Structure 1
């Protein structure tokens, strides 16, 4: 299982050090699975997320584009089960600052619309909730040029703000995330 997670982490790719006038295509794939015991019940949780991006580098240091994210998670405890499906659609702006021929630092601002659909199965009863909201985030990262346009991208978290308002006078959620050092992502890049 650990090998699969490493492969998925390495499968995250982005084109961070492109030339002016080039198209930038990138994305990430994430999967998490855990099982824990809560009282006498076993709780199983599975999460999957796919996040593609496409952009245009209009200046040597600036890239603008669109981003999306599609996620699903399932938590099961005894006969109870919860399923969440999330969708994000937005735009991003990236500034890249080369440090030398091998290293570059970049910061990315992303913002857009998000929606969530939750289904809860409690025995024979099923409840559904739908909500939508906005997101904004800033992510700093380091790019290492390996050779022939291939490179690695590293980041250790960022800043984010999210809102979700559920339909039919449902709850409203707002969150501010400051997760520097709590997250670690590695990606593989190819510059065309």
Structure 2
């Protein structure tokens, strides 16, 4: 349980600056691991790092760049499945105070992303197949900021809206387009500091 809470805290941790003429630095770190005790079972490891840097040019608007790197690996008795992805893009944030302790904000982000997947196929002729794809993403994420004391605060997010495309560059897979509506399905809590 303690390990899960530590992982949750790291995944939601961010530093933020929300004053005119300053720099916003934030990021998310996530890690997940699962091990199976069965002889034919599966071991799974996943990590993600998503930094963000922006400039707040007035009291309500921030523009900047963001990126994300993730890696996952599933290990089976007969072979491994792995996935790597990378994205880089820009974002614009609008924030609005709604009281002495609260502010609401929304991030609109877009950019390029790619994915590299390798998976093992079993059966009579086992083999390893690699898929590579690239595309773009577009998303909006609303959140609530609670100012606790002297610029320290908490950020609350309950999902967002997103659209992604991945165009396969190999002959082993299909192009994909996805639309995600996750309001109320995902919850994250972050820590921020205004410098």
Secondary structure of the corresponding residue to residue 42 of structure 1: coil
Pairs within 5 Å for 1:72-91: 72-91=71-90
In 1: Cα distance, 2:90 partner to 2:168 partner: 23
Deviation by residue 1:16-43 (Cα, 9 ceiling, x = unmatched): 6x111000000001122345799x9423
Hey, what does 2:30 align to over in structure 1?
30
Matching of residues 167-182 of structure 1 within 5 Å = 167-169=169-171, 170-182=173-185
- More strand as a share of residues: 1
- Deviation at residue 8 of structure 1 after TM alignment: 3.2
Query: 2:65 and 2:5 mapped to 1: Cα distance?
Result: 27
Q: Measure, in 2, the Cα distance between the counterparts of 1:172 and 1:93.
A: 28
Alignment of 1:35-184 (within 5 A): 41-122=40-121, 125-169=127-171, 170-184=173-187
Aligned length in residues:
189
What stretches of structure 1 move > 4 A for 4+ residues in a row?
35-38
Q: Structure 1 residue 126: deviation in Å?
A: 2.9
Gaps of 5+ in 2: none
Output the aligned Cα RMSD.
2.1
Q: Could you report, residue by residue, the CA deviation over 1:46-67 in whole angstroms, capped at 9, with x for unpaired residues?
A: 2211100000001100100000
Q: 1: CA distance between counterparts of 2:160 and 2:137?
A: 13
How big is the shift at 1:122?
A: 4.3
Task: Using structure 2 for the length normalisation, give the TM-score.
Answer: 0.88
**Structure 1: which 5+ runs fail to align?**
none
TM-score normalised per structure 1: 0.90
Contact 1:119 1:129 in 2 (8 A): yes
Distance, in Å, in 1 between the alignment partners of 2:90 and 2:78 is: 40
